[in-house]
Structure 1
Amino acid sequence: MHALNWVDWIILILTLLAIVIYGTWQTRGSKNVKDYLRGGNSSKWWTIGLSVMATQASAITFLSTPGQAFNDGMGFVQFYFGLPIAMIVICMVFIPLYYRLNVYTAYEFLENRFDLKTRTLAAVLFLIQRGLAAGITIFAPAIILSVVLGWDLLTLNIIIGLLVIIYTVSGGTRAVNVTQKHQMIVIFIGMWVAFFIIVGKLPEDITFSRALEIAGASGKMEILDFSFSLNNRYTFWSGIIGGTFLMLSYFGTDQSQVQRYLSGKSIKEMQLGLIFNALLKVPMQFFILLVGVMVFVFYQFNSAPVNFNPTATELVLSSEHKADYEALQDKHESLFDDKKEIIEGLFASKDKDKDLALQELGKINQQDTDIKNEARSLIEKVAEQQEVKVESNDKDYVFIHFILNNLPRGLIGLLLAVILSAAMSSTSSELNALGSTTTIDLYIRNTGEKTEAEKVKASKWFTFAWGIMAIAVACVADLAENLIQLVNIIGSIFYGNVLGIFLLAFFFKFVKGNAVFIAAIITQIIVIILYFLNEYELINLPFLWLNFVGCIVVIFLAFLMQLIHINEK
């Protein structure tokens, strides 16, 4: 448990309150549904770009991604390789169509092209997956902060959720856009400060290039994997193919993103906003992963626990397996001493000796990884015996452990503000989109025309209701191997199918509504079955490929059904 200094508390509270108050004040008094749901179409391209990035960059990004790099290296960046391709396609195809049709949600277009039931199905699929994801974006920082700070998990879920509800319900889309712009500024400053502090805390003779060599010796700098193996979750091909389909679905058909750029002043502003995101997003993810790699190098010179999750450690140390766990800790500390000895003589060696020393360092780090895996297995064994749930995989705890134990006063508060700002920014987009989709695609469409005041009121109530639902999901959320993966898994189960529906709408004019509707239902069942078959290791299909499979299957089935004349409509 860590007690925050009063300086950290002041910085944390003032940063969060400033964002909430500013967002609420700047966007008070939306009189009509265009103002509330599309921000009065007043957003400039840089606001759109930052808002789109903030929606995707949740707290999970800043907690899990450094831990992902700490454990597995830079390879995770390949996940984002499809993003620039997707941005270009959306700018050329999706945005002009949405702009011409003057839609509030992406799913309105589907009724124009197919029928009401296809629009409703796509909207419902979005509501299910995004409703779950909204809960996870609250739960992710709450579970980790509750463990490392000793705060009550339930209270944290409610605080984060209510802060977001206040300004999202009050100001709608413009409040989300305005606050996200400032949240991203806080996030960028926080991550840059963290990076320079980590590098500054390395020994004097360890330059940045030497730090990269140390990381490379343990395989942390292996960025590109061109193998076609499905055993590797993140490869160049899964990023380019699966990633492109995921990003097309997410940015082109997910209302939480579509609503960000539909608020643009013009079609040009919308397109520039997405191109800005395409150019900045991959370097940003690369940088966040690099922060995690530098944390790994830092812990080559500074002792670290065998498992970063304090709750997991306490659980084992209070069990009958205490001696086994302490033996693993002793081995871990012994290897740390060996590493220090190798590194101290590393850069004084001749080139040939240096290469041998780096190889030896890599071997020791592999042994250390094996010990950490043994520790995780022991934690899982104890948790199973005691019938309690605890996260044995400590990826999500690495960065927060570093922050709390190594940053000076004030900066800890700033970095915690970064994490909570990111949670609020992504959650606000999700609630905003959930509220508008429920209002436009389900409520107004099925209950008849309403006045502007009634539409705004309904939007606010639905946004509020989804906020409460998200808090409820956060309060009952289960633990996952890695939270950033969990959000992407949920998306991958639904996104491919929805993207396929949109591609059929855009490019295959002879396919009609009934064929698409039936194909989409069958496809969703198939994708869910494939996911569980992979989970139980009956097949080998990493989750990123579900986007590709779902998209292709729904297109193929819709074609087939149309061709055999299941319907004429």
Structure 2
Amino acid sequence: MRPLDWIVLLGTLGFIVSYGVWKTRGSKDIEGYLKGDNSMKWWTIGLSVMATQASAITFLSTPGQAYEDGMRFVQFYFGLPIAMVIISITVIPIFYRLNVYTAYEFLENRFDLKTRSLAALLFLVQRGLAAGITIYAPAIILSTMLGWSLTVTILIIGVLVILYTVSGGSKAVSVTQKQQMAVMMGGMIVAGFVVVSYLPDNVSFGEAVSVAGKMGKMNVVDFSFNWDDRYNFWSGITGGLFLALSYFGTDQSQVGRYLGGKSVAESRLGLLFNGLLKIPMQFLILFIGIMVFVFYQFNQPPVFFNEVAKSNVYATPYADDLRALEQTYTGVFEQKQEAVHRLVAAIKAEDKAAIETAQVSVNVLTEASKEIREEVKDLVRLATPDAEVKDTDYVFISFVMKYLPAGLVGLLLAVIFSAAMSSSAAELNALASTTVVDIYKRSMNQLASDRHYLNASRFFTILWGAIAILFAMFASMLDNLIEAVNIIGSIFYGTILGIFLVAFYVHYIRGNAVFIAAVLAELVVLYCHYFTDIAFLWFNVIGCACVVVFGFILQTMMGGKRRLKNTNYRKH
């Protein structure tokens, strides 16, 4: 890190936090604190929704995901635009008519208190875990790359987030996320231009894309159907749709963003804006990872991207084994580099036979490189058992730290910090809102003053922030971080979505039946997660379907149709 990088990083973060505190200072009541006085315009809502979803994990893990697995992860988002339309048409008007603070208030109107409390608790569990990962994921990577203490890095991120979230509540989250989103996308676009400019002079942008395609990385759409395949068109358009419906329709971290809109129209436009831009944004971030991959076809990549973990092996008796593997890796890379240049020449000449021959050579040598990398990972695991051997989350940040010029390194680190802060702030605000409104105010202390609930909201924001920081400090490294967050969400979201779908559309099913059905559905999802190989996106479909099916069966067993006791949700 050079002085200019520190100036850019600290200046960006200081401005965002200061602006958030100043712009939203002096929330006087719970309405303003939890809903931002319903003053948000559609573009603020749209950017806030996108920034909440685009955590630091997105900018750290997604390019590495593309580096290893190509573009197919973008299919995960194919169901999202459809979900935005459905929520805009059906969900938003109901929430506005009821004038709710959280999504779960609606469930008591429709069913009963225990169903509302169950949905709220499921949300608190999964979002509380995710909040810890949201802080931990960038902290462990940034601490490794910058040489900082992990504890210090976690505290920096966590305390900055708590500072402006406690100060201004929901409005502070939405206001700061506009600046954070500008930093995030601006930084990634600059990084994309830089990596393309670093390609060899004789390799055009189009030829770089062709090389990526010939090496199997431009796999944007896959129409083959496989239950065990996490990313294809069918899992994205169905499982992704259900996950998006759950996340944007029932998760308070997102519902809270659009409940603060000036009107139904503003909230709808904000969500549709997100639906329009989310896939292109993810495509861009994945494509940057693809360009980093192509760059490393002409410039030797590390045999292991976590340089700190690799360097620790040199202090063990396995140092000579690692040096031998690195030497072999260099030899294979030099052969592959020649084969890639032959592939580029064949593409330029449009010689199909030469393209196929070079493509075979490149793919064979690529597999040889992968085998060596696996041997290195095994060696790292053997030499330092506590080390994390999954290094794809380090691909992009390693490239940034090694190749980007002064100033841009600081900007890209600001991108990662901003993303961590934006998503964490929304999560803490949602956790506090749900705890106060759905648990504390409803079931523990119903007669306190508005000022008391405002102070309680601030207290629970700090409490959940502290819990997230503690979880981040003691969490062990997971697999790919972007997948880890989505897996945790998928375990719980399907059940929550099932409860809401029954509430909105299946008037036959009532409180007792849906409560038992939700408990059974969650048990089914947990069984699928621990004892089957079903891809996690399908958990959203399975959980939702189980709630509906079990609900029908249980309601029939309990006595069939009777007039709904709670119908206020249809009268407002």
1:66 aligns with 2:67: no
Contact kept in structure 1, 2:304 and 2:376, CA below 8 Å: yes
Q: CA RMSD in A?
A: 1.4
1:519 aligns with 2:517: yes
Code of the residue aligned with 1:557 in structure 2: it is F
**% identity of equivalent residues:** 56
Judged with a 3 Å threshold, the aligned counterparts in structure 2 of structure 1 residues 322 and 441 are, in CA distance, closer, same or farther, namely same
TM-score, normalising length from structure 2? 0.95
Question: 2:388 pairs with 387, 391, 408, which one?
Answer: 391
Quote the Cα distance in structure 1 between the aligned partners of 2:474 and 2:258.
32
Quote the Cα distance in structure 2 between the aligned partners of 1:320 and 1:555.
58
Contact kept in structure 2, 1:82 and 1:239, CA below 8 Å: yes
Contact kept in structure 2, 1:389 and 1:479, CA below 8 Å: no
Question: 2:421 pairs with 407, 424, 445, which one?
Answer: 424
Match of 1:472 in 2: 470
Structure 1 position 566, deviation (Å) = 7.1
Equivalent residues in 2 for 1:362-373, closer than 5 Å: 362-373=363-374
Quote the Cα distance in structure 2 between the aligned partners of 1:221 and 1:370.
22
Match of 1:343 in 2: 340
Moved more, 320-329 or 184-193: 320-329
Judged with a 3 Å threshold, the aligned counterparts in structure 2 of structure 1 residues 230 and 372 are, in CA distance, closer, same or farther, namely farther
Moved more, 270-279 or 333-342: 333-342
For residues 345-391 of structure 1, give each alpha carbon's deviation from its aligned partner in whole angstroms, at most 9, with x where no partner exists.
444344132332233222221221222222223323334xxxx4221
Code of the residue aligned with 1:497 in structure 2: it is T
Code of the residue aligned with 1:451 in structure 2: it is S
Match of 1:563 in 2: 556
Question: 1:409 pairs with 406, 409, 415, which one?
Answer: 406
For residues 246-283 of structure 1, give each alpha carbon's deviation from its aligned partner in whole angstroms, at most 9, with x where no partner exists.
11000000000000000111100000001000010000
Moved more, 93-102 or 53-62: 93-102
Code of the residue aligned with 1:354 in structure 2: it is I
Quote the Cα distance in structure 1 between the aligned partners of 2:518 and 2:451.
35
Code of the residue aligned with 1:93 in structure 2: it is T
Contact kept in structure 2, 1:74 and 1:220, CA below 8 Å: yes
For residues 534-569 of structure 1, give each alpha carbon's deviation from its aligned partner in whole angstroms, at most 9, with x where no partner exists.
xxxxx3211111111111111111111110017988
Quote the Cα distance in structure 2 between the aligned partners of 1:449 and 1:287.
51
Structure 1 position 518, deviation (Å) = 1.2
Match of 1:75 in 2: 72
Quote the Cα distance in structure 2 between the aligned partners of 1:524 and 1:392.
32
Contact kept in structure 2, 1:390 and 1:479, CA below 8 Å: no
Equivalent residues in 2 for 1:200-279, closer than 5 Å: 200-279=197-276
Contact kept in structure 2, 1:217 and 1:361, CA below 8 Å: no
For residues 433-463 of structure 1, give each alpha carbon's deviation from its aligned partner in whole angstroms, at most 9, with x where no partner exists.
0011111111111211332212211111111
Quote the Cα distance in structure 2 between the aligned partners of 1:378 and 1:500.
46
Moved more, 396-405 or 227-236: 227-236
SS in 2 for 1:365: helix
Question: 2:119 pairs with 100, 118, 122, which one?
Answer: 122
Question: 1:545 pairs with 538, 544, 550, which one?
Answer: 538
1:38 aligns with 2:31: no
Equivalent residues in 2 for 1:7-46, closer than 5 Å: 7-46=4-43
SS in 2 for 1:320: coil
Quote the Cα distance in structure 2 between the aligned partners of 1:382 and 1:110.
53
SS in 2 for 1:348: helix
Quote the Cα distance in structure 2 between the aligned partners of 1:213 and 1:331.
28
Quote the Cα distance in structure 2 between the aligned partners of 1:529 and 1:319.
41
Judged with a 3 Å threshold, the aligned counterparts in structure 2 of structure 1 residues 566 and 464 are, in CA distance, closer, same or farther, namely farther
TM-score, normalising length from structure 1? 0.96
Structure 1 position 230, deviation (Å) = 2.6
Quote the Cα distance in structure 2 between the aligned partners of 1:172 and 1:392.
39
Quote the Cα distance in structure 1 between the aligned partners of 2:525 and 2:341.
52
For residues 74-125 of structure 1, give each alpha carbon's deviation from its aligned partner in whole angstroms, at most 9, with x where no partner exists.
0110111110111111011111110111111000000000000100110011
SS in 2 for 1:73: helix
Structure 1 position 33, deviation (Å) = 1.3
Match of 1:501 in 2: 499
Moved more, 103-112 or 510-519: 510-519
Code of the residue aligned with 1:511 in structure 2: it is I
Equivalent residues in 2 for 1:322-341, closer than 5 Å: 322-341=319-338
Contact kept in structure 1, 2:211 and 2:343, CA below 8 Å: no
For residues 162-195 of structure 1, give each alpha carbon's deviation from its aligned partner in whole angstroms, at most 9, with x where no partner exists.
0000000000011000000000000111001000
Code of the residue aligned with 2:511 in structure 1: it is G
Quote the Cα distance in structure 2 between the aligned partners of 1:97 and 1:548.
23
Contact kept in structure 2, 1:98 and 1:106, CA below 8 Å: yes
Quote the Cα distance in structure 1 between the aligned partners of 2:149 and 2:559.
56
Contact kept in structure 1, 2:134 and 2:424, CA below 8 Å: yes
Contact kept in structure 2, 1:219 and 1:362, CA below 8 Å: no
Contact kept in structure 2, 1:493 and 1:531, CA below 8 Å: yes
Contact kept in structure 1, 2:211 and 2:344, CA below 8 Å: no
Code of the residue aligned with 2:479 in structure 1: it is E
Code of the residue aligned with 1:395 in structure 2: it is T
Unaligned runs of 5+ in 1: 534-538
Question: 1:155 pairs with 152, 157, 164, which one?
Answer: 152
Quote the Cα distance in structure 2 between the aligned partners of 1:231 and 1:290.
25
Equivalent residues in 2 for 1:188-203, closer than 5 Å: 188-203=185-200
Quote the Cα distance in structure 1 between the aligned partners of 2:320 and 2:79.
48
Quote the Cα distance in structure 1 between the aligned partners of 2:219 and 2:520.
39
Structure 1 position 314, deviation (Å) = 2.6
SS in 2 for 1:167: helix
Quote the Cα distance in structure 2 between the aligned partners of 1:548 and 1:231.
14
Quote the Cα distance in structure 1 between the aligned partners of 2:66 and 2:513.
44
Judged with a 3 Å threshold, the aligned counterparts in structure 2 of structure 1 residues 296 and 347 are, in CA distance, closer, same or farther, namely closer
For residues 222-254 of structure 1, give each alpha carbon's deviation from its aligned partner in whole angstroms, at most 9, with x where no partner exists.
111111123322111111111111110000000
Match of 1:376 in 2: 377
Moved more, 372-381 or 539-548: 372-381
Moved more, 488-497 or 320-329: 320-329
Contact kept in structure 2, 1:218 and 1:366, CA below 8 Å: no
SS in 2 for 1:205: coil
Quote the Cα distance in structure 2 between the aligned partners of 1:92 and 1:135.
33
For residues 408-450 of structure 1, give each alpha carbon's deviation from its aligned partner in whole angstroms, at most 9, with x where no partner exists.
0011001000000000000000000001111111111121133
Quote the Cα distance in structure 2 between the aligned partners of 1:542 and 1:93.
29
Equivalent residues in 2 for 1:482-493, closer than 5 Å: 482-493=480-491
Unaligned runs of 5+ in 2: 566-572
Equivalent residues in 2 for 1:287-326, closer than 5 Å: 287-326=284-323
Structure 1 position 7, deviation (Å) = 1.1
Quote the Cα distance in structure 1 between the aligned partners of 2:493 and 2:539.
9
Match of 2:547 in 1: 554
Contact kept in structure 2, 1:431 and 1:466, CA below 8 Å: yes
1:458 aligns with 2:456: yes
Match of 1:536 in 2: none
Match of 2:435 in 1: 438
Moved more, 317-326 or 143-152: 317-326
Match of 2:569 in 1: none
Quote the Cα distance in structure 2 between the aligned partners of 1:217 and 1:312.
32
